[in-house]
Amino acid sequence: MTGPLCGECGRPLGDGVTLCKECVGNLIEQLADVPALLAELAIVRAGLARSGPRSSGAGRPAEPPLPVRLDGRDRRAGERVVLRLETAVIGWARALAEDLHVCPAVGTAYLVDLTQERRLAFRADRRPDAAALAEPATPVEQCAIWLTRHRREIARHEAAPELAREVAAAVRGLRRAVAPPPREYLGLCPRKDDAGQPCGHELWAEDRAVQTVCRRCGAPYVVAELKSAALTGAEDRHYSVADLLRLLTELGHPVPRSTLYRWAQQRRIAPRGWQHTDERGTRITDHQISPEDRQVYRLGDALAVARKEGAEAV
C-alpha cells in the first residue's frame, strides 16, 4: 500500500505534510535568494540606464559588431518579473500568516536585519553594490525571508504545492531577468525599403535558434546565413588577439593562444594599430594612448597564416 505522494515531485509524503522535505528545501532556497537576486536586478537596471548611445570620439570608430554573444536586457520585462514575484511571495506570506493567526513581521528590526544579510549572498563573480545594499529592505524581500522561517508550517499547509509552484515560477523569472539566457547578435537588418534605405534594426537570435525575424520590418532570416554574411568583409577589419582567437575558431581555424602570440612576435602577422577604450567607447587608433591599449591585427592576415599552417600540418 502506498501513502500520499508529494504534489510536486511524487515522492512519498510523511505524516501530515503536503509537500516533501526536498521540495520544501528547494522552495526555502529560492525564497532565501530573493533579496540577493533583487539587488542584482537593481544593478542590472542601473547599468542599463547608464549605457546610453555613445558619441564617437576622435580617431576611427570602433569596428562594426560581429556575431558574438551579448546580453540583451529588457527593462519592462524586469518590472513584470518583480510584480509577479510580489504577487506570489507577499500573497502567500499573507495567506500563511492568516492561517497561523499572526502578522508577517515586516518592518521589525529582526526581519530587516535577516533580509539585509541575505542581500550579501551575491553570485561569487559579482561585487555587491554598496548603494543597492543600503536601500531599505522591501516588503517582498522581507516576506520571502519571513516565509523561509516557516519551513514546517509550509510543509503542512494544504496549498503548499501551489505555493511552491507559484514562487518557483516567479523566482525563475527573476533569475532570467538578472542573467538572461544567451542571445546572439547578428548585425543590422540589411533589408531595403522602397526608397532603397536599409532597415538597420538590430537582429538577434535566441541561443541555438535556426531562424530569426527582424523585430522592426518582419524580414525573416536564416541564422547561419546571417553569420556567414557578417563574416564576409571581416577579413579587412582589425582585432585584438583575444577577438582573433574567437573569430578564427568561428571560422573553422582554431589556433592556440600561444601560437597566435608567437606569430605576432615573429611578425608573421603585423600589428595594424591599437585598440583603445575610454568613456566614449572602443576604437582603433594608429598609436598607443594608454598602457592598457592592445595591438590589433588584420583578421585576413591571421587567417592566411592559419590556413597555411593548417595545410602544412595535413
Cα pseudo-dihedral 150, 82, 127, 291, rounded to 10:
170
Q: How many residues bind Zn ion (CB under 5 A)?
A: 14
* CB closer to Zn ion, 23 vs 154: 23
Q: Which stretch binds Zn ion (CB under 5 A): 7-15, 58-66, 81-89, 226-234?
A: 7-15
Name which position in 17, 18, 20, 35 contacts Zn ion (CB under 5 A). Answer: 20
167 vs 178, beta carbon nearer Zn ion: 167
Q: Specify the stretch interacting with Zn ion by CB under 5 A; choose among 3-11, 160-168, 243-251, 303-311.
A: 3-11
Q: Which stretch binds Zn ion (CB under 5 A): 57-65, 92-100, 119-127, 199-207?
A: 199-207
Shortest separation between residue 234's beta carbon and Zn ion, angstroms: 21
Nearest alpha-carbon partner for 233 in 249, 211, 251, 220:
251
Interacting residue with Zn ion among 42, 97, 189, 205 (CB under 5 A): 189
Q: Which of 44, 95, 112, 199 binds Zn ion (CB under 5 A)?
A: 199
Q: Is the torsion defined by CA of 148, 152, 153, 155 positive or negative?
A: positive
Nearest approach, Cβ of residue 221 and Zn ion (Å): 9
Segment lying near Zn ion (by CB under 5 A), choices 59-67, 132-140, 189-197, 275-283? 189-197
Q: How is residue 270 annotated by DSSP? A: -
Interaction between residue 13 and Zn ion (CB under 5 A): no
Contact status: 97 vs Zn ion (CB under 5 A): no
Residue 217 found at the interface with Zn ion (CB under 5 A): yes
- 201 forms part of the interface with Zn ion (CB under 5 A): yes
Nearer to Zn ion, 216 or 307 (CB): 216
Q: How far apart are CA 71 and CA 206, in angstroms?
A: 11
Q: Rounded to the nearest whole angstrom, what is the least distance from the CB of residue 25 to Zn ion in the complex?
A: 9
86 vs 202, beta carbon nearer Zn ion: 202
By CB under 5 A, tell whether 8 contacts Zn ion.
yes
- Of 201 and 246, the one with the shorter C-beta distance to Zn ion is 201
Euclidean distance between CA atoms 121 and 293, whole angstroms: 35
For residue 109, the SS3 value is: helix
Of the two residues 20 and 106, which places its CB atom closer to Zn ion in the complex?
Answer: 20
Does residue 17 belong to the site contacting Zn ion (CB under 5 A)?
A: no
Count the alpha carbons within 13 Å of 39 in the hemisphere toward its beta carbon: 27
Strand partners, 211: 222
Among residues 34, 155, 186, 214, which is the contact residue for Zn ion, using CB under 5 A?
214
Smallest distance, Zn ion to C-beta of residue 27, A: 10
Beta 238-239 vs 211-213: how paired, if at all?
A: unpaired
- Cβ closest to Zn ion, residue 9 vs residue 102: 9
Contact between 33 and Zn ion (CB under 5 A)?
A: no
Helices (H), ranges, the chain: 21-50, 75-100, 109-119, 130-134, 139-148, 151-156, 160-178, 223-231, 241-250, 257-265, 299-313
6 binds Zn ion (CB under 5 A): yes
- ∠ Cα 96 89 95 (to 5°): 20
C-alpha to C-alpha distance for 37 and 15, rounded to whole angstroms: 34
**Residues 25, 31, 35, 41: what is their CA dihedral angle, to the nearest 10 degrees?**
110
Q: Distances from the Cα of 262 to the Cαs of 236, 273, 305, 313, in angstroms?
A: 21, 18, 12, 17
Binding footprint of Zn ion on the chain (CB under 5 A): 6, 8-9, 11, 20, 23, 189, 191, 199, 201, 214, 216-217, 219
